[in-house]
Amino acid sequence: MGKLIVVSNRVGPLKDTGKAGGLAVALVDVLRDRGGVWFGWSGQVSEEGTFGDFKIERSRNVEMATLDITKADYEEFYAGYANRTLWPILHYRLDLAEFDRPFEQGYRRVNERFATRLRTMLDPDDMIWIHDYHFFPMGGQLRSMGVENRIGFFLHIPFPNPDIITALPRHAALVRSMLAYDVIGFQSQRDRNHFVEYLVQEAGGERIDESRVMAFGREVTVKAYPIGIDTEGFAAFPATVEGRRQIQRIRSVLGPRKQIVGVDRIDYSKGIPHRFRAFERLLEDYPENRGGVSLLQVAPPSRSEVMAYSEIQRELEHLAGQINGRFADVDWTPIRFIVRGFPRKALAGLYRASRIGLVTPLRDGMNLVAKEYVAAQDPEDPGVLVLSRFAGAAEELRESVIVNPYATEEVAASLQTALQMPIDERKHRHGAMFERMMRNDARKWANDILADLAG
């Protein structure tokens, strides 16, 4: 058996630093199983011409091999095509998408440079697993360099219906390059179906069976592989020193009040303003909650070099200020809006101390916060997950309270239902979701894809 090569934009960490997400942990686990390389961007920007050398970091049988990119690469490939063109389009935000020729050229250039370097480390039996929208064309570029290894691709974010995707200039070339993969994985059945619909409607593709599609002269496996978390590991976090400390801190300020929690990178896809308005509506329509329920929103900033992102932070600060000004009392602040991150164990404590986890993305490939919230609950007195129907997680977490994040009144009414939900119903819903998440954890996700990729 050859080695496994995982390719993703951000690489590592190899050791559990406490900051690593479940995804990093799962990928290191599968790399350890067979030995392998994790390849991608170093996170560093360097001068033109000096990016040629790999940075290597090794821990036992797993190696991290990363490359720097240049300032132009950063602006065109990363901040440009990946985050200003593909991210908005794939999240159904045609209004925010920017189409700029240099973006696309930079994107191809970086993919090609990475493919060229990847090829130098390949042995014939190696399996390559490429992640996410940063690297759609890399498989096709490797094939045109003569690479015949098995290559799989997993998309972490949504794949929209053909009406949306066809708005992308040169969408046909992008999709065509995806057919170079042997296995293409999506987060949800919905996204998987969108991709197949595109192939059938736009590219004369043919459905062969449940999981095989023929297009552009190639037959490929196209399936949904919903990503999981390290359910068991995360469920243990609230009992750690750091977890207990957060629970204690929150209980001491809350007293008998209840807390709703939201945790998201600041991103327009996460529906945070919609969430604030729904919470405001809860206070308007169900005034008994004034003074008794508060919303804690943790929102570490991300991609602040992209304008749409810095704008949304200002909008949220304004909105929180307005709602607090309107409803706050001397001993109660309706919204606590924290613009920074917490360590994962602390986060688990925040989840555990909150009666409701409120997850309202307008579009999301999966949404791991929803799963983490469920994993962190006390099984004897669990909180309620209120979850957007537009998160991939809604296909699996069917016992959550599913909402339409655009329907402010409906979300407010669902929050009220969740606040009043009797303990038996809370336990029943939580138990069903937790059990499913124990079976379908991050490790199973990776193993399922790799089993299909191994053929």
Q: Which residues are catalytic?
A: 156, 364
Q: Could you say which of 367, 388, 400, 440 contacts ligand GDG (CB under 6 A)?
A: 367
227 vs 433 by CB, closer to ligand GDG: 227
Bridge partners of residue 65, in order along the sequence: 39, 56
31 contributes a contact to ligand GDG by CB under 6 A: no
CB of 340 to ligand GDG, least distance (A): 7
Candidates 19-27, 38-46, 314-322, 326-334: pick the segment binding ligand GDG (CB under 6 A). 19-27
Backbone angles phi, psi at 18, to 5 degrees: 90, -20
199 contributes a contact to ligand GDG by CB under 6 A: no
13 contributes a contact to ligand GDG by CB under 6 A: no
Nearest 10 degrees: Cα torsion 191, 196, 197, 199: 130
142 vs 227 by CB, closer to ligand GDG: 227
Buried b (16+ CB within 10 A) or exposed e, 314-339: eebeebbeebeeebeeeeebbbebee
- Asked whether the beta carbons of 272 and 299 are under 8 A apart, the reply is yes
348 contributes a contact to ligand GDG by CB under 6 A: no
CB of 37 to ligand GDG, least distance (A): 21
Candidates 135-143, 248-256, 337-345, 414-422: pick the segment binding ligand GDG (CB under 6 A). 337-345
Residues 6 or more apart whose CB falls under 8 angstroms from that of 248 comprise none
Residues 6 or more apart whose CB falls under 8 angstroms from that of 269 comprise 87, 91, 93, 361, 362, 363, 364
- Nearest partner of 338 among 394, 287, 383, 299, judged by Cα: 299
Q: Which of residues 44-63 bind ligand GDG (CB under 6 A)?
A: none
344 contributes a contact to ligand GDG by CB under 6 A: yes
- Asked whether the beta carbons of 9 and 134 are under 8 A apart, the reply is yes
Q: Could you say which of 82, 90, 254, 366 contacts ligand GDG (CB under 6 A)?
A: 366
21 contributes a contact to ligand GDG by CB under 6 A: yes
Helix (H, G, I), strand (E, B) or coil at 357: strand
23 contributes a contact to ligand GDG by CB under 6 A: yes
Q: Could you say which of 2, 102, 301, 341 contacts ligand GDG (CB under 6 A)?
A: 341
230 contributes a contact to ligand GDG by CB under 6 A: no
Q: Could you say which of 151, 213, 298, 446 contacts ligand GDG (CB under 6 A)?
A: 298
# chain residues binding ligand GDG, by CB under 6 A: 22
Distance CA 6, CA 216 (A): 26
> To 10 degrees, what angle do helices 408-419 and 272-285 make?
70
- Asked whether the beta carbons of 187 and 158 are under 8 A apart, the reply is yes
- Asked whether the beta carbons of 36 and 6 are under 8 A apart, the reply is yes
30 contributes a contact to ligand GDG by CB under 6 A: no
185 vs 334 by CB, closer to ligand GDG: 185
Beta strand segments in 331-425, E? 335-338, 356-359, 384-388, 401-403
157 contributes a contact to ligand GDG by CB under 6 A: yes
Candidates 284-292, 365-373, 407-415, 436-444: pick the segment binding ligand GDG (CB under 6 A). 365-373
- Asked whether the beta carbons of 434 and 404 are under 8 A apart, the reply is no
Q: Could you say which of 35, 162, 291, 343 contacts ligand GDG (CB under 6 A)?
A: 343
CB of 169 to ligand GDG, least distance (A): 23
- Nearest partner of 106 among 139, 83, 130, judged by Cα: 83
339 contributes a contact to ligand GDG by CB under 6 A: no
Backbone angles phi, psi at 7, to 5 degrees: -120, 125
365 contributes a contact to ligand GDG by CB under 6 A: yes
398 contributes a contact to ligand GDG by CB under 6 A: no
Candidates 42-50, 206-214, 363-371, 381-389: pick the segment binding ligand GDG (CB under 6 A). 363-371
- Contact flags string 245-274 toward ligand GDG, x per CB under 6 A: ------------------x-x---------
Residues 6 or more apart whose CB falls under 8 angstroms from that of 323 comprise 276, 279, 280, 283, 334, 335
CB of 370 to ligand GDG, least distance (A): 7
Distance CA 439, CA 231 (A): 9
Q: Could you say which of 353, 368, 433, 449 contacts ligand GDG (CB under 6 A)?
A: 368
Binding residues vs ligand GDG (CB under 6 A): 19, 21, 23, 156-157, 227, 263, 265, 298, 300, 341-344, 347, 364-369, 372
